[in-house]
């Protein structure tokens, strides 16, 4: 151990005390807890959510402060002025650290408001003001939970408010102290227990009016966080001044009186709802009756002339039948024509395919006939040196007598014709 010393502990304790006493003297704000008094001193802790400091004050200093009777008590919010001190103890007594208080006063409205504002800002930044407002509140809950003092005007006012709404469901009372240091944890626990009851549909937290110090429990950070996170909507009605306590900010609805809280917990006025329902039932009945009545003349007309109506319907039916039949016949004819055209084309193509070889055979025969025919043509004979004798009209002259009778004839050679005159044979 490479450290200076060892020093006698008593001397070290005194050095420590002197060092602590050099620290700057300050004002602290917090809640008084664990208060006890002896003839020489008063002991308590000044505490808030983040921590605590043990405090001592000399009895004569306390007397000189002239605090109001009963003001110094557990749960009260105080401002203490002083500085750290260290009781060094002795061979037989234990040492102790404490904040030596020389000034002490009840935290004023201003002090509380400043703390409240800081807390409010923080919770708002965390979004805790919005959570409850997003919860659906049933218009007609059957069971509501109420956190309030067992004896108090708030309880009575709430019941009156519910009665006035014509609501006579189930109330589960979560009684809790509403003003002292036990209040905030007890209220938070009651809210949690009520929210754990499956049938509780809304929770009312209420107490009567008072100073901000009286209502301070409803600004407790842990309580307000519990309310914000509750799955059941919480309706706050604390004191008479709206928005003075933090619970009003985190609650689903903040009301100024227990009567208003009753209205917020049961949004539906059961008395007027019943009347509205009766009106609705009557309207439905009227509509049902009216619908039948409005159609009665038509029904009556049908009832009076069933034969005529039947005839009219039958005519219409016949007309329709005819139209349908005609349409269908036309359809058939069109289809048939089309099929015929298709068949014709198909047959023609088939015939053409089948006629191919036959045509060839016929063409051959024709060629042979042409050759045979040409052999008998007069032109072919003329080419061999014969001449054809024709009369003036072009008819063949086949006898000598006919030639003599004609007088003039025409001789047709292969390359053309010449005129000739017939003369008598001398012989």
Q: Which phi and psi angles does 419 have, rounded to 5°?
A: -80, 150
Task: Tell me the closest approach of the beta carbon of residue 41 to other proteins, in angstroms.
Answer: 39
Task: Tell me the closest approach of the beta carbon of residue 148 to other proteins, in angstroms.
Answer: 11
Q: Which two tokens stand for residue 351?
A: 């015939």
**Residue (97 or 173) nearer to other proteins, CB:** 173
Spatial separation of the C-alpha atoms in residues 18 and 93, rounded to whole Å: 19
SS3 376: coil
Spatial separation of the C-alpha atoms in residues 316 and 313, rounded to whole Å: 5
Spatial separation of the C-alpha atoms in residues 38 and 34, rounded to whole Å: 13
Spatial separation of the C-alpha atoms in residues 181 and 214, rounded to whole Å: 10
Task: Tell me the closest approach of the beta carbon of residue 307 to other proteins, in angstroms.
Answer: 25
Torsion of CA 290, 292, 295, 296, to 10 degrees: -110
> Which H or E run includes 305?
none
**Residue (204 or 397) nearer to other proteins, CB:** 204
Task: Tell me the closest approach of the beta carbon of residue 268 to other proteins, in angstroms.
Answer: 7
- Using CA atoms, how far residue 252 sits from 17, 186, 247, in Å, is 52, 20, 10
Residue 6: is the preceding peptide bond cis (ω within 30°)?
yes
**Residue (30 or 174) nearer to other proteins, CB:** 174
Task: Tell me the closest approach of the beta carbon of residue 263 to other proteins, in angstroms.
Answer: 14
CB 126 within 8 A of CB 120: no
Q: Which two tokens stand for residue 229?
A: 């996170």
**Residue (291 or 401) nearer to other proteins, CB:** 291
**Residue (135 or 324) nearer to other proteins, CB:** 135
Task: Tell me the closest approach of the beta carbon of residue 231 to other proteins, in angstroms.
Answer: 17
Residue in the structure block whose two tokens are 């060629």: 367
Q: How far apart are the first and last CA of the chain?
A: 192
CB 416 within 8 A of CB 423: no
Spatial separation of the C-alpha atoms in residues 358 and 165, rounded to whole Å: 113
Spatial separation of the C-alpha atoms in residues 123 and 234, rounded to whole Å: 17
Task: Tell me the closest approach of the beta carbon of residue 176 to other proteins, in angstroms.
Answer: 9
**Residue (138 or 185) nearer to other proteins, CB:** 138
Task: Tell me the closest approach of the beta carbon of residue 299 to other proteins, in angstroms.
Answer: 10
**Residue (270 or 387) nearer to other proteins, CB:** 270
**Residue (171 or 387) nearer to other proteins, CB:** 171
Task: Tell me the closest approach of the beta carbon of residue 197 to other proteins, in angstroms.
Answer: 7
Binding site residues, other proteins, CB under 8 A: 138-140, 142, 145, 159, 162-163, 166-175, 190, 193-194, 197, 266, 268, 270, 273-274, 276-277, 280-281, 283-285, 287-288, 291-292, 295
β-strand partners of 145 = 172, 203
Q: DSSP letter at 396?
A: B
**Residue (292 or 371) nearer to other proteins, CB:** 292
């Amino acid at each position: 151990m490479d450290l200076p010393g060892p020093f006698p502990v008593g001397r070290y304790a005194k050095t420590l005390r002197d060092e602590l006493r050099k620290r700057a003297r300050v004002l602290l704000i917090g809640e008084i807890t664990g208060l006890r008094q002896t003839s020489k001193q008063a002991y308590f802790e000044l505490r808030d959510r983040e921590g605590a400091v043990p405090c001592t004050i000399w009895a004569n200093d306390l007397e000189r402060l002239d605090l109001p009777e009963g003001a110094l008590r557990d749960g009260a919010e105080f401002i203490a002025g002083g500085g750290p001190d260290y009781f060094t103890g002795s061979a037989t007594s234990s040492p102790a650290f404490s904040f030596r208080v020389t000034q002490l006063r009840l935290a004023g409205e201003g002090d509380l408001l400043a703390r409240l504002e800081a807390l409010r800002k923080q919770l708002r930044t965390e979004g805790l003001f919005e959570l409850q407002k997003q919860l659906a509140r049933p218009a007609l809950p059957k069971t509501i939970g109420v956190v309030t003092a067992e004896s108090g005007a708030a309880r009575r006012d709430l019941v009156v408010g519910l009665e006035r709404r014509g609501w006579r469901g189930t109330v589960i009372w979560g009684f809790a102290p509403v003003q002292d240091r036990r209040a905030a944890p007890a209220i938070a626990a009651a809210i949690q227990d009520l929210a754990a009851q499956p049938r509780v549909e809304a929770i009312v937290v209420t107490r009567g009016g008072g100073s901000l110090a009286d209502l301070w429990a409803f600004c407790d950070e842990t309580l307000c966080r519990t309310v914000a996170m509750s799955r059941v909507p919480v309706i706050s009605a604390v004191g008479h001044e709206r928005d003075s306590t933090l619970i009003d900010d985190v609650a689903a609805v903040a009301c100024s009186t227990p009567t208003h809280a009753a209205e917020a917990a049961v949004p539906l006025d059961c008395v007027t709802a019943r009347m509205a329902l009766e009106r609705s039932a009557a309207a439905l009945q009227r509509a049902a009756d009216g619908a039948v009545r409005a159609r009665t003349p038509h029904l009556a007309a049908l009832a009076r002339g069933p034969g005529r109506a039947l005839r009219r319907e039958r005519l219409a039916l016949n007309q329709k039948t005819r139209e349908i039949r005609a349409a269908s016949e036309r359809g058939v004819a069109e289809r048939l024509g089309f099929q015929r055209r298709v068949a014709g084309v198909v047959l023609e193509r088939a015939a053409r395919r089948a006629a191919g070889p036959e045509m060839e055979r016929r063409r051959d025969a024709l060629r042979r006939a042409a050759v045979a025919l040409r052999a008998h043509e007069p032109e072919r004979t003329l080419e061999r040196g014969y001449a054809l004798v024709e009369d003036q009209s072009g008819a063949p002259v086949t006898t000598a007598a006919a030639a003599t009778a004609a007088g003039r004839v025409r001789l047709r050679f292969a390359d053309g014709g010449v005129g000739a005159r017939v003369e008598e044979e001398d012989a």
